[in-house]
Amino acid sequence: MLHLPVPVRQALRDLAQDSDFLLFGELHGTQEPPQLIATLLDDLTTLGYGGLALEIARSEREPIMRWATGASGEVPRFFAQPGSDGRGNEQLLALIRQVAEKGWQVLCFSDDPDQGCATWTERDSVMADNLAAQWKQCCPDRKAVGLSGKLHSRLALTEVGADLWPSFAACFQERNPLSVVRSVDLVFHGGSFFNQQLRTLPDRPLAEAEIRKDTRLGHSFALHLPQATAATFLAPPIG
């Protein structure tokens, strides 16, 4: 679980209440993003959430759900043979089991090889359509909370990453205008993460988590966290 001051947790709860799709822009390879959703899980369930949207290839959804619901004892390939970018970590796997125990559905929106994405923006566009299709199929009457890389989660164009626009979140919002989409940039003030290798973040001391109206990257809000903790994996990451 992640420690959140009462005002921060209430602000996130209010944001979730006003959203249909609440997307957290993460730094891959950290433990805190799935722990954040786990911390908010009871609140989110009460508010009508029932979909966990993840930047995992769409074809992985079925084996993930079989494992999460206990129908299969085989750990999904995405986690048994994790890639080197840090996404297939133990902390996310634990969150998947937690949401399944509450009757949630996992929505895997990343592209499959047969979808032919040659560029970053093509992939973001396809991811938006993948999410819409799985959401409609699996839990159309529930809200969804999600995790993606922070450049994918932007809702407005800014100077940072302007060549990688439109983003996944922006594409989804444009094509689903009746859904209220909000995004939160997760900003770490120190610590470490795993992407290709163990890496260290610059230290900018912060006493406790804070919510800020920080739109530098084009998100609705920014959640500033004191430290990142490098994710752990069931097996050595490949690549």
pLDDT for residue 116: 94
pTM reported for the whole predicted model: 0.98
Among all chains, which residue has been given the structure tokens 């990257």? 217
pLDDT for residue 162: 95
The per-residue pLDDT for range 100-142, each reduced to its tens digit, is 999 999 999 999 999 999 999 999 999 999 999 999 999 999 9
pLDDT for residue 75: 97
Report the C-alpha gap between 2 and 23 in whole angstroms. 17
How far, in Å, are 28, 75, 79, 156, 235 from residue 186 at the CA level?
11, 28, 23, 16, 26
Report the C-alpha gap between 136 and 107 in whole angstroms. 10
List, in order of start, the domains of the chain with CATH numbers: 6-225 (3.40.50)
**Ranges under pLDDT 70 in the chain:** none
